[in-house]
């Protein structure tokens, strides 16, 4: 008996002597607590009566808290006024299609640019690479607003846009509002994301693999199909997963780009707009939760696909520690033409929105330069009748600077936590690839991404009103915890992709030299995949800096963060100040990215190969 106990004790000891096992177990427990809780709350909300307003809606004498299948039945099957079809099925189908289009645009645009930057002798790489990530730093609605401002025209009674005023061209309404512009705005917003993920892999790919295929007389297309694509496939699927999940649940873009009349045929009510409407009404909260769950199921399907690719050992080690080389494809005569086209396209979608923010903040009336003013930047006199003095020029506003400082600090902390968690999860998953525990940790680490921000915030709001956790209510620690968990998926995906590329031999060599685990991580593994790991830190940072929905329920006051001040100004009609803050947030992110670049030598775009 004693021998048996000793033996199981030894097995346990041996099991926990491996860092990957320790990390897997620890994160399994953390994620159960931090992720399963909101998931469970959503599921429970979809089968219970949420408040007396909803009880009245459900009818039949049900009371608050009672179990009910009404929300599911109503939303999925109700034929009264075509309810299920109008509110759920049609918007879901259209939104899924829109998300697929957005994926295609993001992957093709981002992937092609990544290939040119990493694998060709294209000129102006630094410029293209630096500027290409701008749209991702902006909030997605910024691209939507820019799209409208550029393409709107008087023929559709939407006012004169930039294109019409410059060229006189009036595009049809279907290119200004509705399904197509939504897909484009989202695709362009997430293209940098595809660029970062795919580019990171391409950059680290040893050209010997492709050259070996060339020596074997494989055609260019065959090399692309049989060598390059399989290598970037995990990153490609991660991109599709992230872009699809974000696009299908994106609220702001369909909200901004849906102004057409119902009879025009361009009216597009997305599932996210329906979900927001359902959740915001006290009568139909449960139905909103049902939509959130269905959206998650969509993403889970893609996640499963992703696991099949990475889990069944179909990913490829590209960083072996042995000498590798990157030989660039010579573009020949097309070099200059391609470069000019890319510079124009990238500059257009990345810089023009910033210019539009700047101009909007400098005119009393949008586009009317006769009303030019610096008031919204520099005024020391309160405007908008504020006696509290917080609606002065944003550069003079201590309230805004304090909010900006808190945003930066919060984002740095969130990025550090999320990035480190992601890196550790990536390590554990790559080492324990194929095991159930690793698979569970990997999947759970991605779940926060699938839960709508507002719902995620709402769960933690309720938690902060619960005994034992009331000390968290209204604190920045709560914002930090929520941010770190919500943005962990970015880091865990990039961490896992990067770790998967590393050959086991590299760490094994260090193990044989008796190098401790922490040193192996910090001195061996991290430096090799530094660019990818830094992306894992920068992506949560950027996302946190521009996040609003996640924090809006949890902040003690609107002056807490830069984005909440922006929202308040936008809501109270101070659009010029709101635009100025938006621009300022982007500038701050770029400055911080620049500082990170100077200090560590890494950055998002450099990770891809911009330098």
Q: Which is nearer to another protein, 53 or 214 (CB)?
A: 53
Q: Which is nearer to another protein, 127 or 383 (CB)?
A: 383
Instruction: Check binding of 393 to another protein (CB under 8 A).
Output: no
Q: Which is nearer to another protein, 276 or 433 (CB)?
A: 276
Q: Which of 7, 11, 67, 82 binds another protein (CB under 8 A)?
A: 82
Give residues 250-279 in contact with another protein (rule: CB under 8 A).
Answer: 255-256, 258-263, 267, 269, 273-274, 276-277
Give just the sign of the alpha carbon dihedral 106, 237, 483, 537.
negative
Least distance from C-beta 408 to another protein, angstroms?
22
Least distance from C-beta 40 to another protein, angstroms?
9
Size of the site for another protein (CB under 8 A): 87
Least distance from C-beta 258 to another protein, angstroms?
6
Paired tokens of 351: 């810089």
Q: Which stretch binds another protein (CB under 8 A): 80-88, 289-297, 437-445, 601-609?
A: 80-88
> In 398-435, where does DSSP find H-type helix?
398-431
Rounded to 5°, angle at Cα 34 from 33 and 37 = 70
Binding mask 145-164 for another protein (x = CB under 8 A): ------------x-x-----
Rounded to 5°, angle at Cα 430 from 605 and 423 = 45
Give just the sign of the alpha carbon dihedral 560, 563, 564, 566.
positive
Q: Which of 60, 61, 385, 527 binds another protein (CB under 8 A)?
A: 385
Instruction: Check binding of 478 to another protein (CB under 8 A).
Output: no
Least distance from C-beta 568 to another protein, angstroms?
5
φ, ψ of residue 461 in degrees (nearest 5): -65, -50
Give residues 47-66 in contact with another protein (rule: CB under 8 A).
Answer: 51-53, 56-57, 59
Least distance from C-beta 447 to another protein, angstroms?
14
Q: Which of 6, 226, 314, 470 binds another protein (CB under 8 A)?
A: 470
Q: What is the rounded CA–CA span in Å between residue 146 and residue 141?
A: 8
Q: Which stretch binds another protein (CB under 8 A): 26-34, 107-115, 124-132, 304-312?
A: 26-34
Q: Which is nearer to another protein, 120 or 420 (CB)?
A: 420
Q: Which residues, 6+ apart, have CB-to-CB distance to 434 below 8 Å? A: 311, 312, 313
Q: Which stretch binds another protein (CB under 8 A): 311-319, 342-350, 367-375, 524-532?
A: 367-375
Least distance from C-beta 70 to another protein, angstroms?
11
Instruction: Check binding of 304 to another protein (CB under 8 A).
Output: no
Q: Which of 7, 344, 348, 384 binds another protein (CB under 8 A)?
A: 384
Q: What is the rounded CA–CA span in Å between residue 74 and residue 443?
A: 30
Q: What is the rounded CA–CA span in Å between residue 269 and residue 79?
A: 19
Q: Which is nearer to another protein, 281 or 439 (CB)?
A: 281
Q: Are the C-beta atoms of residues 46 and 286 closer than 8 Å to each other?
A: yes
Eight-state DSSP code of residue 357: H
The string of DSSP letters for 279-344 reads: HHSTTSHHHHHHHHHHHHHHHHHHHHHHHHHHHTT-S---B-SS----PPBP-TTHHHHHHHHHHH
Binding mask 315-354 for another protein (x = CB under 8 A): ----------------------------------------
Q: Are the C-beta atoms of residues 109 and 188 closer than 8 Å to each other?
A: yes
Binding mask 274-303 for another protein (x = CB under 8 A): x-xx--xxxxx-------------------
Q: 147: closest CA among 252, 7, 299, 277?
A: 252
Q: Which stretch binds another protein (CB under 8 A): 181-189, 199-207, 502-510, 563-571?
A: 563-571
Paired tokens of 223: 């090399």
Q: Which residues, 6+ apart, have CB-to-CB distance to 340 below 8 Å? A: none
Angle between helices 436-450 and 229-248 (to 10 degrees): 40
Q: Is 323 exposed, middle or buried (0-12, 13-18, 19+ CB in 10 A)?
A: exposed
Instruction: Check binding of 466 to another protein (CB under 8 A).
Output: yes
Q: Which is nearer to another protein, 90 or 530 (CB)?
A: 90
Q: Which is nearer to another protein, 56 or 340 (CB)?
A: 56
> In 62-171, where does DSSP find H-type helix?
70-77, 83, 90-119, 125-132, 134-137, 140-151, 162-167
Give residues 498-557 in contact with another protein (rule: CB under 8 A).
Answer: 516-519, 552-553, 556-557
Paired tokens of 430: 């790559």
Cβ atoms < 10 Å from Cβ of 107: 25
Instruction: Check binding of 34 to another protein (CB under 8 A).
Output: yes
Least distance from C-beta 410 to another protein, angstroms?
18
Give residues 153-212 in contact with another protein (rule: CB under 8 A).
Answer: 157, 159
Q: What is the rounded CA–CA span in Å between residue 306 and residue 443?
A: 10
Instruction: Check binding of 22 to another protein (CB under 8 A).
Output: yes
Least distance from C-beta 451 to another protein, angstroms?
15
Q: Which of 63, 330, 388, 598 binds another protein (CB under 8 A)?
A: 388
Binding mask 571-610 for another protein (x = CB under 8 A): xxx-x-----------------------------------
Least distance from C-beta 32 to another protein, angstroms?
7
Q: Position of tokens 């595809």?
A: 194
φ, ψ of residue 23 in degrees (nearest 5): -60, -45
Instruction: Check binding of 469 to another protein (CB under 8 A).
Output: yes
Paired tokens of 216: 């074997």
């Amino acid at each position: 008996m004693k021998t048996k106990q000793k033996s199981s004790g030894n097995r346990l000891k041996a099991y926990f002597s491996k860092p990957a096992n320790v990390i897997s177990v620890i994160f399994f427990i953390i994620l159960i607590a931090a992720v399963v809780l909101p998931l469970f709350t959503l599921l429970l909300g979809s089968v219970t009566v949420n408040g007396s307003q909803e009880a009245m809606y459900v009818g039949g004498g049900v009371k608050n808290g009672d179990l009910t299948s009404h929300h599911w039945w109503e939303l999925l099957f109700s034929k009264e006024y075509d309810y299920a079809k109008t509110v759920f099925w049609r918007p879901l189908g259209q939104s899924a299609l829109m998300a697929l289009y957005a994926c295609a645009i993001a992957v093709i645009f981002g992937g092609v640019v990544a290939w040119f930057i990493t694998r060709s002798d294209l000129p102006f790489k630094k410029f293209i690479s630096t500027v290409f990530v701008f749209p991702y730093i902006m909030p997605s609605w910024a691209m939507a607003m820019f799209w409208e401002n550029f393409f709107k025209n008087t023929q559709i009674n939407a006012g004169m846009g930039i294109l019409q005023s410059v060229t006189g061209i009036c595009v049809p309404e279907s290119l200004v509002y509705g399904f197509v512009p939504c897909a484009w705005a989202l695709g362009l917003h997430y293209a940098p994301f595809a660029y970062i993920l795919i580019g990171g892999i391409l950059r680290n790919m040893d050209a010997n693999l492709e050259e070996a295929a060339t020596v074997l007389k494989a055609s260019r297309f065959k090399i692309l199909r049989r060598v390059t694509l399989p290598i970037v496939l995990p990153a490609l699927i991660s991109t599709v997963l992230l872009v699809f999940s974000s696009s299908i649940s994106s609220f702001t873009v369909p909200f901004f780009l849906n102004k057409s009349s119902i009879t025009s045929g361009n009216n597009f009510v997305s599932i996210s707009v329906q979900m927001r409407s359902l959740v915001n009404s006290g009568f139909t909260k449960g139905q909103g939760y049902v939509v959130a769950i269905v959206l998650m199921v969509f993403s889970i399907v893609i996640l499963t696909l992703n696991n099949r690719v990475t889990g069944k050992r179909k990913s490829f080690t590209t960083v072996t520690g042995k000498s590798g080389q990157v030989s660039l494809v010579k573009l020949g005569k097309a070099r200059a033409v391609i470069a000019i086209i890319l510079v124009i396209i990238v500059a257009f979608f990345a810089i023009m929105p910033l210019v539009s923010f700047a101009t909007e903040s400098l005119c009393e009336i949008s586009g009317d330069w006769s009303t030019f003013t610096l008031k919204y930047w520099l005024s020391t006199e309160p405007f908008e009748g504020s006696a509290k003095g917080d609606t002065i020029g944003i550069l003079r506003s201590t309230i805004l600077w304090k909010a900006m400082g808190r945003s930066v600090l919060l984002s740095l902390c969130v990025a550090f936590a999320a990035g480190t968690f992601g890196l550790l999860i990536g390590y554990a998953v790559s080492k324990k690839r194929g095991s159930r525990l690793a698979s569970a940790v990997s999947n759970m680490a991605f779940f926060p991404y699938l839960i709508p921000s507002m719902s995620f915030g709402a769960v933690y709001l309720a938690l902060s009103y619960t005994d034992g956790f009331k000390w968290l209510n209204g604190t920045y620690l709560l914002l930090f915890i929520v941010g770190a968990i919500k943005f962990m998926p970015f880091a865990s995906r990039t961490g896992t992709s990067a770790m998967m590329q590393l050959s086991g031999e590299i760490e094994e060599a260090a193990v044989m030299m008796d190098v401790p685990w922490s040193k192996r991580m910090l001195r061996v593994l991290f430096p090799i995949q530094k660019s990818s790991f830094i992306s894992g830190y920068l992506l949560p940072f950027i996302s946190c800096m521009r996040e609003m929905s996640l924090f809006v329920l949890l902040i003690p006051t609107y002056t807490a963060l830069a984005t909440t001040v922006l929202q308040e100004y936008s809501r109270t009609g101070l659009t010029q100040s709101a635009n100025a803050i938006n621009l300022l947030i982007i500038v701050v992110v770029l400055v911080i990215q620049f500082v990170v670049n100077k200090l560590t030598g890494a950055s998002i775009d450099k990770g891809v190969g911009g330098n």
